[in-house]
Structure formats: C-alpha cells, structure tokens
Structure 1
Amino acid sequence: MLEHRHRVVIVTPVYEDAPACATLLRHLGALFGKSLLVVAVDDGSPRAPLRLGDIPADAPDTCILRLRRNVGHQQAIATGLHFIAPQLQPHQRLILMDCDGEDAPASCSMLLAKLESHGDTAIAVAQRAKRSESLKFRAFYVAYKLLFRMSTGRAIDFGNFMVMTPRAAQTLAKSPWLGTHVAAAALASELPLLRVPVDRSTRYHGQSKMNFPKLVRHGMKAILVFSKDCRARAKGAFLLAAALCATLAGGVRVFDFTLPGIMPVIAGVAAVATVLAASMLWMAWLLEHRHKQLPDTSTAAYTGNTQAVLYTP
C-alpha cells in the first residue's frame, strides 16, 4: 500500500503483456528502488493476467489492480488514477505511462525534474520529439494533429506519458473525460501544462495491439472532449463559406460581374468549402450527441469494476 517513503507513484495499464510489465518493473526498480510504488492495472486480461508471481524480485513495491472485465487503455488508466489519487500526499508525484517500453523509464527522471523546476506547473507531459512507429502511423498522426487543430483550435502533441502533482491528479480524477481520452482530458482541465520533448523508445516484447481503426477511434475521442468548441468552429466555417457563395452569386446577378475561366473555379472552391464546413458541423453534432451517451465516470463506477487488489510482500 502507499506509504510516506514512496516519493513517486506510477500508474500503468497492462493487457496480456506480463513479460513487458516485468521488464519495465526491473528498469524502474534500478532507477527508484523502494521509493516507488507501481500500480499495475490489469485490464481484464483473459488469457494471461498479471500475477504476483510475474513481479521480479528486484522490482519496486507493486500493486496489481485487477479489473473484472476489459475496459480499454484509457479507462484502465482512469481506474488506476481514481484508485490512487485520494491517497496521494503533498510530497509525492504521480506518473502515468505505458508498460510496453515505448515510454522509456529513464525519461521519468527528466519529467520529474522539469516538473519540480517549474513551480507553477501542475503537469509535465512528454511531447514526442522522435517517434519509432511506421511511416503509415506517423502520416496518420500528422493528419490527426492537423484535424484536431482545425476542429478545436488547440494543439495536442502528447499522449498518456505525464507526471503530475497530487492536486493535479485529484483534479484530473474528477474530469468526466478521463476515461475517454486521458491526454485530451488533461488539456481540457486547464491545469498548467509543461511540454517536455521526449523521444519515444521501442517496445520490449511483441507488437502493438493498436490497429488503424482503433487509432482512428482514439483520435475521434480526443475531438469528442472538445465537441462544443468543434461545433462553434464548424458553425463559423459554414456561415463564412455560405456567405462567400452568396456574395459571389449576388455579385454576378446584380453587377453582371464575370471573369471567364476564373469565376467557375472560385465558385467551385466556395461550394466545396461549404460542403466541408457542413460536414464538420454534422460531425460536431454527432460528437455532442455521443457526449450525452457517455458512461458513468464516477469513482464508484471505476472502482466497481475492480476484482482484486494485490500487493507485493
């Protein structure tokens, strides 16, 4: 259980990845020793759930939070955060990270140092400076960031890897968006964020379970968090495009103003812009409709899915 000697607490989700988690724990044990508590959230792994026997002898103190059913990466992190946030003391720091090795343990110390050196910062996030994924993934990620910027007016260039103060953890735990998209929830919280350039490392074992359709859904969930901003921007873009079309049509009709060869192009661009803006408006409406159907995200709802809490001796 969490004790005063634990200066750092790490929450990491685990799904059918006990070997990678064991490797991570060995690296963390070498870095932090017994000043660290790791909360490993086993996300309902059906075939090979994380067990106490999987924890290496040189690992830091570890708590296995075993869930009854699989809820997905983001909700697993949210469950761990809801579990540990109320227990945090002012001198402790919380880290969220993946267990597959792509969030390098050595980067934890850098994020912690940056958080402490910027007194007004509540959360230090790992801004990806260099990625190790395929070209297809990186191309999608660039397109996703551009779409997010156009839809919400904000920039999202970080993931789940972050360090925060106890107060920030407790504030984030109250966010209704936490189980939808952790990074977007942190961005929407308006807590002071510090972006720290961090290179993405390589996986310890196996291949990523995240396929392209899952990546698309994950990206759309980030936009869902800002559905109201998305609707406002889409509405403005639609009205602007419609006004441009009306102005062009009115100018031609009233002043008989035509430029052969150019007007059809301008009119075509305006029409396409109107259709795109209308599509964005429709998407924003769907996102807001989806927002009304979000599941219960109270602490009781998260902890109610916990099957067992196991501590290393």
Structure 2
Amino acid sequence: MSHSSATLVVVMPVFEDVEASSRLFHELASRRGLDTFVVAVDDGSVKQPVDPAAISKAGLEGVVIRLRRNVGHQRAIAIGLSYVAEKFDGQQQVVVMDSDGEDTPESIGELLGGLQQEGTDVVVATRKSRVETLRFRAFYVVYKWLFSFLSGRRISFGNFMALKMPAVRRLAAMQELWTHVAACVLNSKLRVATCALDRGPRYAGRSKMNFVGLALHGFRALMVFAEDVLVRVGIVCTLVALLSVLGGVLALVLKALGFATPGWFSLVTGILLLVFLQTGALTLITLMLSGSVRSGGIVSVGSYKEFVADILSAKRE
C-alpha cells in the first residue's frame, strides 16, 4: 500500500513504551482495517526504541520517525503532522492519538463520524469521565479557569483528535503547533467539533507525566496566546494602579478631615505609592512584551527534518 492509497493516517508519539505501542498497532489493525497507515514518532527512546517490525507484525504499513533527541510530546506530534502534510497529497483522514491505550482505537470511529459533518475541519475528544488523582483534578480545574481568564478562550480537550488533510496542512504551517497542539487548534480558526469519549486504561506501564510536567504543559498553552495574556495582565495592572491612586486621594481627604490617626496616613500613602510604582512598571513591561511577541509565523516545509535521525518504513507481512 502506498502513501496515497491509505484512507486513514494515525500519528502517535512514542517514548520508551514498546509494549503498549505494539499492542496498539494490533488493535488498530483489528478495529480500523488494513487501509490504516501508522506514523509512529519515536521521541528519542534509548531503552526501548520502536521497531518498524512491530507495525509489520500487526499487518499494517507505516513509518517510524526516529528523532535525534527527546523533544517532548507536543513537538513529537508536530513532527508527525509535518511529515504527513509533506508526504500525503490525497484526501486522507488523520487521527492524532497517544500510544499508551488511553486513547482507544474503538473511539476513532466516533471521531471520524463527526468529521463527516458539513462545516467541520477537526473533531476533538473531550472526556466523559476521568480516573485521576484528586491533585490532578484540582489542578485541571484551576488550569482551565486560568486559561479562560487569561486568554479569553476555553480549552477542554487534549491531543486525541481527527482532522481533514487541509486542516493538517494548515496546522503544520503554524509555529504554535510546536508549543501546544490543542491550543494551536484553537488559534487556527479551523471549524472544530467536539466528541465526548471515555478514557481507556493504559495497556502497560505507568504514565511518565508528573505534576511539574503537567504544569509546564498548561503554561505552554498560554504561550500560544501570549499577546492576549499580556494585554489582559496589562489591563489588570492598570486598574490596580488606578485604585492605588484613588486610595491615596481618599487617604489625603481623611487626613484633611482629621479622621487619620498619627502615623496612619504616612503608612497608607507609602504602601499605595509602592503598589502604584510596581503595577505601573509591570504595565509598561507587559505592553512592551506584547508589542514584541509575534504569533502566527509560517513554518517552512521540511523544517521538521532537522530533528529527525532516521525514517524507517514498515511493510505489511
């Protein structure tokens, strides 16, 4: 099967997870059929690099893109999508999923079904339920609130999604894709539909994502909307500075009317002056930064190859 004859392309990042990914290859062959082409991005694995033979043994065809070093989950997906945008010229449907089994192959049909609706470019998976620790769930609630407050947008999905080929090419040309995939989809102006799905159990092993990694992942989503975040922070700082000025005027009036106790006016005035100077300086800094941030840049075709050590083809056995 050539690249052009595949009807479904599955992009997945893999890092030191041979057992789970090998099982996923077999599940994809069983659930989605032999017209599925796998693009497995080996994110610099050292102990357990992905073998193309695992794809062949599952009865599928595909490629293993081995990276020169570990670049992280989001960049690995960006490299996979960039490869698909460059190598596929048909009207294939593309699915992005994790390799650990939590994104289930049987759910792909629901995503692709939503992709058939008119006026839809991308279908993203939202979770019906989560089996997570209390700390993770609390962090996720705070993260969604902060993201909505600072960026003015809502984010309720991850990397599990189905895309039409024009949408893949659009995302591959956006530099934000290398920072955060889901936030890039929000920023792409593509027509996005949601599909509520259950999360599956991991096939093997334990998640390599820790709390610090999750926090960093959340901050990267805000980086995609850096200009919006900086402007909102600047507005808040300006309001705080104005309130400090009003507080100083009020303190002066109270002092003139004789309501201030000894030392009270000096203390309050000093605190308000300090707040005003700090927020004023922060406002200037944020405005300067918002003017220097450049989003929406174009990524050159083939730039992903700088990270690639080797591309290994897998033929069906």
- Is TM > 0.5 for Structure 1 vs Structure 2? yes
Classify 1:4/1:90 alpha carbon distance in 2 versus 1 (closer, same or farther; 3 Å).
closer
Count of aligned pairs: 302
How far is 1:22 from its partner? 0.8
The answer as to 2:111 corresponding to 1:111 is yes
Show the counterpart of 1:171: 170
Q: Secondary structure at the match of 2:39?
A: strand
Show the counterpart of 2:77: 77
1:154-179 deviation line (CA, Å, top 9, x unaligned): 11111111111111100000111111
Amino acid at match of 1:175: M
Tell me, in whole angstroms, the C-alpha distance in 1 between the residues paired with 2:115 and 2:217: 27
How far is 1:104 from its partner? 1.2
Amino acid at match of 2:223: L
1:218-246 deviation line (CA, Å, top 9, x unaligned): 11111111110001111111112222332
Classify 1:235/1:114 alpha carbon distance in 2 versus 1 (closer, same or farther; 3 Å).
same
Show the counterpart of 1:87: 87
Q: Secondary structure at the match of 2:160?
A: strand
For the 8 Å contact 1:36–1:60, the answer to whether it is kept is: yes
For the 8 Å contact 1:227–1:284, the answer to whether it is kept is: no
Classify 1:300/1:137 alpha carbon distance in 2 versus 1 (closer, same or farther; 3 Å).
same
Write the mapping of 1:5-84 to structure 2, written as runs, cut at 5 A: 5-55=5-55, 57-84=57-84
How far is 1:297 from its partner? 5.4
Show the counterpart of 1:210: 209
How far is 1:141 from its partner? 1.0
Write the mapping of 1:251-290 to structure 2, written as runs, cut at 5 A: 251-254=250-253
Tell me, in whole angstroms, the C-alpha distance in 2 between the residues paired with 1:59 and 1:43: 23
How far is 1:55 from its partner? 3.1
Q: Secondary structure at the match of 2:140?
A: helix
How far is 1:10 from its partner? 0.7
Tell me, in whole angstroms, the C-alpha distance in 1 between the residues paired with 2:164 and 2:219: 28
Tell me, in whole angstroms, the C-alpha distance in 1 between the residues paired with 2:226 and 2:69: 29
Query: TM-score scaled to structure 1, two decimals?
Result: 0.85
Tell me, in whole angstroms, the C-alpha distance in 2 between the residues paired with 1:115 and 1:179: 24
Tell me, in whole angstroms, the C-alpha distance in 2 between the residues paired with 1:21 and 1:54: 9
Provide the aligned C-alpha RMSD in A: 3.2
Tell me, in whole angstroms, the C-alpha distance in 2 between the residues paired with 1:136 and 1:291: 33
The answer as to 2:132 corresponding to 1:133 is yes
How far is 1:193 from its partner? 1.0
How far is 1:2 from its partner? 4.4
Query: TM-score scaled to structure 2, two decimals?
Result: 0.84
Tell me, in whole angstroms, the C-alpha distance in 2 between the residues paired with 1:277 and 1:186: 33
Write the mapping of 1:160-239 to structure 2, written as runs, cut at 5 A: 160-239=159-238
Tell me, in whole angstroms, the C-alpha distance in 2 between the residues paired with 1:238 and 1:77: 37
Q: What's the % identity of the aligned pairs?
A: 37
For the 8 Å contact 1:10–1:37, the answer to whether it is kept is: yes
- For structure 1, the 5+ residue unaligned runs are 259-266
Show the counterpart of 1:246: 245
Tell me, in whole angstroms, the C-alpha distance in 2 between the residues paired with 1:283 and 1:155: 26
Q: Secondary structure at the match of 2:116?
A: helix
Tell me, in whole angstroms, the C-alpha distance in 1 between the residues paired with 2:289 and 2:214: 17
- For structure 2, the 5+ residue unaligned runs are 260-267
For the 8 Å contact 1:251–1:257, the answer to whether it is kept is: no
Amino acid at match of 1:109: G
How far is 1:62 from its partner? 2.3
Max radius of gyration: which structure?
Answer: 2
Q: Secondary structure at the match of 2:124?
A: strand
Amino acid at match of 1:310: L
Classify 1:274/1:226 alpha carbon distance in 2 versus 1 (closer, same or farther; 3 Å).
farther
Tell me, in whole angstroms, the C-alpha distance in 2 between the residues paired with 1:144 and 1:277: 24
Amino acid at match of 1:301: S
Classify 1:287/1:162 alpha carbon distance in 2 versus 1 (closer, same or farther; 3 Å).
farther
